[in-house]
Amino acid sequence: MTREILIACEQRMKKQVEFFQGEVAAIRAGRANPALVNDIPVDYYGTSTPINQLATVTVPEPRLLVIQPWDKNAIKDVERAIMTSDLGIMPNNDGTVIRLAIPQLTEERRRSLVAMARKKAEENRVAIRNLRRDANDQVKKAEKDGDISEDEARRYLAEVQTLTNTYIERIDHVMDDKEKEIMEV
């Protein structure tokens, strides 16, 4: 029973770290990354569809994204979606592909992006702590119900804390890497 609690807790914490990695990958760091445009919705024949489901997104150069829609008729829709998004980059359409030149970031913009990434990191740390609290509550309930002894409960609570520390460290590591990437000139 309590082993399942630990396994479920670890799986949920792992998913939270993966979610955070996806969140920070979408933060523009002055370097081209397909995650910048993956979730931009395109009005494609009346349906809101993400760009990555309509086109191939490649990075031929460090500061260039090339978007090649599979349906040539969708190129104007993709271009319009990029212009209306909060990406802040003007697309260059040559009729078959859309090129996005990623501009150099100013120092002020870099600092604001780092602050935004730190805020997301803290939100995810809080989410992991909430998962810890849920697991602790389940262990304490099992002890109260007489399913496990007090010593076992103490051991499981220590294991939950170890898991929490591990996954918070992973979030911190992802955050440190992203901060280095953003501040790199």
The predicted structure's pLDDT at residue 8:
92
The predicted structure's pLDDT at residue 121:
94
- Number of domains making up the chain: 2
The predicted structure's pLDDT at residue 28:
67
The predicted structure's pLDDT at residue 43:
86
- Note whether 117 and 60 are same-domain residues: no
Which residues of the chain are modeled with pLDDT < 70? 1, 28-30, 185
The predicted structure's pLDDT at residue 30:
66
- Note whether 65 and 153 are same-domain residues: no
The predicted structure's pLDDT at residue 174:
93
Longest dimension (CA), the chain: 70
- Note whether 89 and 114 are same-domain residues: no
Query: Helix, strand, or coil here: 126?
Result: helix
Q: Tokens 């490649």 appear where?
A: 58
- Note whether 96 and 111 are same-domain residues: no
The predicted structure's pLDDT at residue 169:
95
User: 114: domain range?
Assistant: 2-26+106-183
Q: Rounded to whole angstroms, how far apart are CA atoms 52 and 55?
A: 6
- Is-contact 140 153, C-beta < 8 A? yes
Out of 101, 122, 157, a domain closes at 101
Cα Rg of the chain, angstroms: 22
Out of 101, 131, 159, a domain closes at 101
Q: Give the CATH number of the domain where residue 42 resides.
A: 3.30.1360.40
Q: Rounded to whole angstroms, how far apart are CA atoms 82 and 177?
A: 27
Q: How many other CB atoms are found less than 10 A from the CB of residue 19?
A: 12
Q: Give the CATH number of the domain where residue 119 resides.
A: 1.10.132.20
Out of 101, 136, 160, a domain closes at 101
